Structure 1
Amino acid sequence: MYSSSSVSKRFVLVPIVVVVTTQLLLVRNVSSLNLTNSYLHHKCVVNQGKYKPGSKYEKSLDDIIQSFSNKDKDSYGFRTGYSMKAYGKEPDMVSITYQCRIDSRGPKCQSCVVTAGYELLRKRCPRYKEAIIWYDQCLVEFSSLDTSGQINYDDNFCMPSAKNLIGNSISLEERLHLLNNLTKIAVTKIDKNIEGIKKPVLYAAGEKRLGTKSLYGMVQCSADLSVQGCNECMLYYIVHFQECWENKQGVRVLSRSCNFRYELYPFINPKGPYYTKF
């Protein structure tokens, strides 16, 4: 994380080699903005109960998680950044879903899904039939129910910045305006990575210059949602968690169905896909 700063009048006294080195470091930082893959949160859902050791459910779940390590098993899902598959029949049916950030498609998507899947299954929520985990670059959910196409209003969380906004430096209206503009792009831009189907990408990132500051944002909806579903999900969570973030310099709001983030510093590579400077 870094922020821009004003240039001092003493800048001319800095040796040229230091200037060049600093510029190279900044370029490197920008190019690696999306490389972090920190664990964010998880939820073990009690509603669907637990499976028994040695059961068909456990075997199916193990087989699915292990298959993620094979790049040929689900190459299309890793390339598009989304997969929802159901295995077996009720009551032993296993539905597993993963969604990667659009700028993390391919090998980074696979790496995140493998890490998150094992973490959720082995450490965070062993034996639960339903659980979900969020990382910087992906989420993984397994369940005994198929809920594709539905907005999930239950599994969510808000991570506000520790720092409050000072005065009216960046107004609520300006932040809402950026999130609204990004949502419009997300539901109208066609995903170029899916062949043969004209489908909205349901993702957008960008920045807006506001006086001496810049506001950076990102929105994403689960690929199984419709355009209407994405709009409804974003509106719901922006309003639902407004008290969590309205006075904060930054926030992440994540759910199973959609998420958004804004900060006063860049957190996504501006050269990445579907990035807009307003």
Structure 2
Amino acid sequence: MSSSSSFKRIVSLPVLALAIQLLFIHSVLSQSQDNAFLYHKCSDIEGNFTSRSPYESNLNSLFPRLSYSVPANGFAALSTGNKPDNVNGLGLCRGDASPSDCRTCLATAIPELRKKCPNNKAGIIWYDNCLVKYSSTNFFGKIDYENRFYLYNVNNVSNPALFNTQTKALLTELTKKATAGGNQKLFATGEKSLGEKKLYGLVQCTRDLRSDSCKACLDGIIGELPNCCDGKEGGRVVGGSCNFRYEIYPFVKIA
């Protein structure tokens, strides 16, 4: 079963930025999870590295280690090298992705990130099944407020106010589930009845965060409802530390 929908992407720039960039994409979404490219960002804040430099050598060493380490349990955070040329990186696969799907996503994402950010000392890339991030600064355990974007279905629901309330309630409940003691994945999925239809949701954090930081991150992006996707049949807020998604069709395994 598959569903084809038109989606709009809104990219949130840094807090002090005065503009937002609008990009239009067409996505084919399916219950079997396409490994669709979502977005990438190369940071200029940390500067650039030169070809054959110690930083590039450390970066080239880091990525194969992530490719090897992440699929086993869906996450890894690693560092390579010594200051000032050390590189920190993480890889996260969607909580319901199989090790095989995780490995496939990383095999696509890592070369693309290197190609899209060839000399940047920091960058991030998102696919439907994974994200990969690297930086010259130690970002582990800190909420990433810098990298964020929205995706939403262009189709509208008939009662936006009620739908927005129900969506927020589901995502808030999933946040409690994801950050409960013992949930090491910091990931949760669920559903909510909407009369004859159902609403499906997903929340996830990168596992370098503590559960309280994960909750703060998710509370923050859920707080962007309804501004991000007012009355839309589906939507996401995707960041460097956490993300949520909701749809009116089953796009994940419900646990």
Q: How does 1:263-274 map to 2 (within 5 A)?
A: 263-270=247-254
Poorly superposed stretches of 4+, deviation over 6 Å? none
Cα separation, 1, equivalents of 2:190 and 2:182 = 17
Counterpart for residue 132 of structure 1:
124
Structure 2 runs not aligned, ≥5 long: 5-29
SS at the partner of 1:104? Answer: coil
Counterpart for residue 64 of structure 1:
62
Cα separation, 1, equivalents of 2:142 and 2:66 = 25
- Which stretch of structure 1 is more off in the superposition, 55-64 or 85-94? 55-64
Among 172, 185, 190, which residue is 2:182 paired with?
190
Q: Please identify the structure whose Cα radius of gyration is greater.
A: 1
> Does 1:219 find its partner at 2:219?
no
* CA distance 1:68–1:185, change in 2 (3 Å): closer
* CA distance 1:68–1:226, change in 2 (3 Å): closer
Deviation, structure 1 residue 33: 2.4
Among 153, 162, 175, which residue is 2:154 paired with?
162
> Does 1:143 find its partner at 2:141?
no
SS at the partner of 1:247? Answer: coil
Deviation, structure 1 residue 250: 0.9
Deviation, structure 1 residue 34: 4.0
One-letter amino acid of the counterpart of residue 46, structure 1: D
Counterpart for residue 39 of structure 2:
41
Among 100, 103, 113, which residue is 1:107 paired with?
100
Q: Deviations over 1:75-104 (max 9, x none)?
A: xx3221111111001111011111111111
Counterpart for residue 212 of structure 2:
228
One-letter amino acid of the counterpart of residue 89, structure 1: N
Deviation, structure 1 residue 249: 1.2
Percent identity, aligned pairs only, is 37
Q: RMSD of aligned C-alpha atoms?
A: 1.9
Q: How does 1:4-19 map to 2 (within 5 A)?
A: none
State whether residues 99 and 222 of structure 1, in contact with CA within 8 Å, keep that contact through their aligned partners in structure 2: yes
Q: What's the TM-score once normalised by structure 2's chain length?
A: 0.84
Count matched residues. 229
SS at the partner of 1:234? Answer: helix
Cα separation, 2, equivalents of 1:47 and 1:136 = 26
* CA distance 1:128–1:241, change in 2 (3 Å): farther
Cα separation, 2, equivalents of 1:169 and 1:81 = 36
More strand per residue: 2
* CA distance 1:214–1:241, change in 2 (3 Å): closer
SS at the partner of 2:47? Answer: strand
Among 165, 171, 186, which residue is 1:202 paired with?
186
State whether residues 62 and 78 of structure 2, in contact with CA within 8 Å, keep that contact through their aligned partners in structure 1: no
More helix per residue: 1
State whether residues 33 and 251 of structure 2, in contact with CA within 8 Å, keep that contact through their aligned partners in structure 1: no
- Which stretch of structure 1 is more off in the superposition, 132-141 or 60-69? 60-69
Counterpart for residue 74 of structure 2:
81
Counterpart for residue 49 of structure 2:
51
Deviation, structure 1 residue 241: 5.4
State whether residues 86 and 93 of structure 1, in contact with CA within 8 Å, keep that contact through their aligned partners in structure 2: yes
State whether residues 251 and 262 of structure 1, in contact with CA within 8 Å, keep that contact through their aligned partners in structure 2: yes
Q: What's the TM-score once normalised by structure 1's chain length?
A: 0.77
One-letter amino acid of the counterpart of residue 152, structure 2: P
One-letter amino acid of the counterpart of residue 119, structure 1: E
State whether residues 34 and 269 of structure 1, in contact with CA within 8 Å, keep that contact through their aligned partners in structure 2: no
Q: Deviations over 1:193-215 (max 9, x none)?
A: xxxxxxx3310011111111110
Q: Deviations over 1:39-86 (max 9, x none)?
A: 0000011100110011011112122324455xxx42xx3221111111
